[in-house]
């Protein structure tokens, strides 16, 4: 209770002491009104329709990289119009060397290394969230959600991170329907886009004013061009948006989507039996959407990237890829990851309501899981029932209220009820509730906090309310990045639906970085930084005390070089280990057909076991993508990890992982994929073939065959038969 009062006082003092500045001031020249078209233009990538001559035109692009504020090396012209159903945007991207344009014919959402254009639409104009639409010179689409200051965003400006602000700056897992075509010609390339208003969410009012940012990427020149201009002196991206003001009202009309799904899987132990399901979406208004799924398809079309799982102290993290949980998930995101949907294993049905109205964001999620993960009382080592005989009902309620342009206060409640059957589902529970907030203060500063309380019941034993706290302060300017973090996670804190790598910590972390900006062709930025970490457990025993010194350089053709040296204390099983490690990474895209990432690590490391000791480890990896043709790509991933009892001593284990991915695109809709992977530690070999037909998001057909062989837990070599997978879904919008 004392902590709750402290946070309340803190939130009030922020607005009394620190002024909240609106940094979009001085952007009056970046307000545009699209022209209303009398009839829709044909979206074919050819700018021959006379409607485009009547459209609103934008030409004043500015470099952000390599040289902030400089004039672009190539001209870009944008045409904007609309009607009652679509927002239309066309591009003429001039290029003095069209043969050098980087473009690939590939699957949707796989154009990260190509030239292209990007449109950010902040439809609520709240400087917090934007829809992102991207098209490469071959007309391949990429889309997603950008969240200001979100967990998945990279640092920018004076911040850490790697520098470029293009394809990797948003969550690409969201899929929205829009039309696009592009053509390469002797002047460069052209793009036409039609974005349905039904795909977007925006205020349910007649007067629409949206934030708008347009970006063009010229990869071989390291150029990122923006309208309006972007500045590293400003801590924030969407605050620097221009304004898109519609001269007349727009409407989504009826917005009902139905997507039936049929999946079937055959294995050695399972017959080939089709499983029907359905996804239903209802746009209650332009700013509020309901989603329902019954017997949903949660098949993994895209395999997880291989990770080394040997001698790991903490659980590995895998990103969510299932459509139902991806839709609107940023509404449920908080500073601490209280909701980690991959802990919902096999849902029978799911219901979700999400949206935003009058500055208030709302998210409600309810899912029935037929194969739940157990709830724990950690300090008593008690667990609830789990597995296919149990049932769990997960409910999440999220409320977030905007305060000024870039600040908010939020509330989250997450409840997991679990029992041996549906009729006994309320036998055990875990409930987590809390407040969180994010405040933009004095222009370049951000302050975030989250205060949680968890209560658990397992086998009749009920815990007290266990608190958890997280605080973050960050200051970013053109040259300086400074951050402070504090986390308090008690050993008996349980968030059964979340992801917490480590409990029993009171951690303090601070980082200072400086950015030198030569802004030359070969060296764009030089970023030295120093970080200090100190962690105590709840017995006030020092468990970690570490210093990390790093240097990051970015430059020629997306090349970057990163060095890191860390030294300090790590306590494990009541033993203090003092260790030092060195790591380096090199990434480059020297040619349109080649990209590569090389990493190397060496240093002292702990062998995590019941009898731990300080050993010596080496590791290296090579990831490379080769594209001999625009529609054919090869991806190779080689990883090596070795551990020794001491430097130059006996080797304890050696792990080699070799994986290959071949993608062949027959057309925009049809592709073939082959994955092979070998792990010599487990002597495991995996092969996966997939045929994909992706007409548009939601209308797809997949046929896959997987084969895996290797040793089981007893060391016996197993050769099970191949598994065959089929999926078909069709998307209707009514």
Q: Which residue has the higher pLDDT, 22 or 302?
A: 302
Answer yes or no: is pLDDT of 167 > 60: no
Q: What average pLDDT score do residues 11-26 get?
A: 44
* Tokens describing residue 525: 């930025």
Answer yes or no: is pLDDT of 184 > 80: yes
Burial of 15 (0-12, 13-18, 19+ CB in 10 A): middle
Q: Number of H helices and number of E strands within the chain?
A: 3, 43
Residues 521/357, Cβ–Cβ less than 8 Å? no
pLDDT band at 157 (very low <50, low <70, confident <90, very high): very low
Distance CA 379, CA 466 (A): 12
Q: Tell me if the domain spanning 31-245 has CATH number 2.60.40.1190.
A: yes
pLDDT in tens, 683-693: 899 999 999 99
Answer yes or no: is pLDDT of 165 > 80: no
Q: What average pLDDT score do residues 451-470 get?
A: 95
Alpha carbon separation from 234 to 64, 130, 229, 264, 531 (Å, rounded): 13, 18, 11, 51, 23
Q: What ranges in 57-155 are assigned the alpha helix state H?
A: none
CA atoms within 13 A on the CB side of 54: 13
Cis, bond preceding 141 (omega within 30 deg of 0): no
pLDDT in tens, 351-381: 999 999 888 999 999 999 998 999 998 878 8
Lowest mean per-residue pLDDT among 34-48, 256-270, 526-540, 605-619: 256-270
Residues 162/552, Cβ–Cβ less than 8 Å? yes
| DSSP-assigned letter for residue 355 | E
Q: Which residue has the higher pLDDT, 158 or 96?
A: 96
Domain boundaries, the chain: 31-245, 320-503
Mode of pairing for the β-strands spanning 129-135 and 116-122: antiparallel
Answer yes or no: is pLDDT of 79 > 90: yes
Alpha carbon separation from 689 to 102, 297, 558, 643 (Å, rounded): 28, 19, 32, 34
Answer yes or no: is pLDDT of 166 > 50: no
All residues at 6 or more sequence positions from 216 whose CB lies less than 8 Å from its CB, including other chains? 61, 72, 76, 91, 93, 115, 116, 117, 118, 223, 224, 225
DSSP class per residue in 421-432: SGGGTTSEEEEE
Answer yes or no: is pLDDT of 713 > 80: no
Strands (E) in 247-359, as ranges, are 256-266, 275-285, 288-294, 347-357
pLDDT in tens, 37-74: 999 999 999 998 899 999 999 999 999 999 999 999 99
pLDDT in tens, 118-140: 999 999 999 999 999 999 999 99
Answer yes or no: is pLDDT of 13 > 60: no
């Amino acid at each position: 209770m004392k902590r709750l009062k402290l946070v309340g006082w803190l939130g009030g003092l922020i607005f009394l002491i620190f002024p909240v500045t609106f940094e979009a001031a001085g952007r009056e020249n970046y307000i545009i009104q699209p022209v209303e078209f009398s009839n829709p233009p044909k979206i074919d990538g050819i700018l021959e329709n006379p409607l485009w001559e009547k459209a609103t035109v934008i030409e004043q692009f500015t470099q952000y990289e390599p040289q902030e504020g400089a004039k672009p090396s190539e001209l870009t012209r944008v045409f904007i119009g609309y009607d009652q159903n679509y927002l239309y945007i066309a591009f003429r991207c001039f290029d003095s060397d069209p043969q050098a344009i980087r473009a690939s014919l590939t699957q949707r959402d796989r154009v990260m290394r190509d030239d292209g254009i990007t449109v950010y639409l902040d439809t609520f104009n709240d400087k917090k969230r934007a829809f992102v639409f991207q098209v490469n010179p071959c007309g391949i689409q990429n889309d997603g959600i950008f969240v200001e200051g979100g967990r998945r965003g990279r640092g920018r400006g004076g911040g850490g991170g790697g520098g470029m602000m293009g394809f990797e700056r948003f969550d690409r897992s969201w899929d929205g329907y829009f039309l696009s075509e592009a053509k390469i010609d002797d002047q460069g390339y052209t793009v036409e886009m039609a974005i349905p208003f039904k795909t977007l969410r925006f205020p349910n009012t007649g007067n629409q004013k949206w934030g708008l940012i347009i970006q063009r990427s010229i990869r071989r020149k390291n150029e990122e061009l923006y309208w309006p201009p972007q500045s590293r002196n400003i801590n924030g991206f969407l605050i620097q948006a221009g304004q898109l003001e519609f001269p007349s009202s727009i409407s989504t009309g009826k917005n009902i989507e139905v997507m039936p799904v049929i999946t079937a899987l055959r294995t050695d132990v399972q017959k080939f039996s089709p499983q029907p399901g359905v996804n239903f979406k209802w746009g209650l208004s332009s700013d509020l959407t309901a989603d329902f799924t019954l017997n949903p398809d949660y098949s993994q079309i895209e395999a997880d990237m291989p990770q080394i799982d040997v001698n790991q102290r903490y659980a590995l993290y895998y990103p969510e890829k299932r459509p139902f949980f991806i839709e609107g998930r940023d509404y449920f995101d908080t500073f601490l990851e209280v909701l980690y949907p991959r802990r919902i294993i096999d849902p029978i049905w799911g219901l979700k309501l999400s949206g935003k109205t009058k500055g208030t964001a709302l998210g409600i999620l309810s899912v029935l899981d037929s194969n739940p993960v157990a709830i724990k009382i950690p300090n008593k080592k008690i667990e609830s029932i789990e597995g296919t005989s149990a049932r769990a009902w997960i409910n999440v309620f999220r409320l977030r209220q905007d305060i000024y342009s870039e600040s908010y206060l939020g509330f989250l409640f997450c409840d997991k009820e679990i029992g041996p059957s549906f009729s006994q589902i309320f036998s055990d529970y875990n409930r987590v509730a809390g407040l969180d907030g994010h405040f933009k203060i004095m222009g370049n500063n951000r302050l975030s906090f989250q205060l949680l309380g968890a209560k658990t019941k397992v086998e009749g034993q009920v815990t007290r309310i266990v608190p958890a706290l997280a605080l973050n302060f960050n200051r970013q300017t053109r040259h300086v990045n400074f951050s402070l973090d504090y986390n308090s996670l008690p050993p008996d804190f349980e968030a059964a639906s979340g992801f917490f790598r480590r409990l029993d910590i009171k951690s303090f972390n601070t980082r200072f970085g400086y950015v030198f900006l030569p802004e030359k062709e070969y060296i764009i930025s030089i970023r030295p930084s120093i970080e200090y970490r100190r962690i105590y457990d709840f017995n006030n025993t020092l468990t970690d005390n570490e210093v990390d010194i790093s240097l990051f350089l970015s430059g020629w053709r997306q090349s970057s070089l990163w060095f890191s040296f860390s030294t300090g204390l790590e306590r494990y099983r009541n033993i203090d280990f003092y260790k030092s490690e060195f790591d380096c990474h090199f990434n480059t895209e020297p040619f349109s057909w080649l990209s590569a990432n090389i990493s190397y690590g060496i240093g002292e490391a702990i062998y995590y076991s019941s009898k731990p000791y300080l050993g010596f480890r080496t590791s290296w990896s090579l990831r490379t993508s080769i594209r001999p043709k625009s529609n054919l790509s090869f991806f190779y991933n080689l990883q090596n990890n070795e551990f020794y009892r001491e430097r130059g001593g006996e080797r304890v284990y050696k792990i080699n992982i070799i994986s290959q991915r071949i993608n062949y695109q027959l057309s925009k809709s049809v592709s073939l994929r082959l994955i092979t992977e070998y792990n010599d530690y487990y002597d495991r070999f995996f092969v996966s073939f997939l045929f994909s037909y992706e007409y548009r998001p939601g209308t797809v057909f997949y046929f896959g065959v997987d084969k895996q062989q290797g040793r089981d837990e007893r060391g016996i070599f197993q050769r099970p038969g191949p598994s065959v997978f089929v999926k078909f879904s069709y998307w209707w919008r009514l």
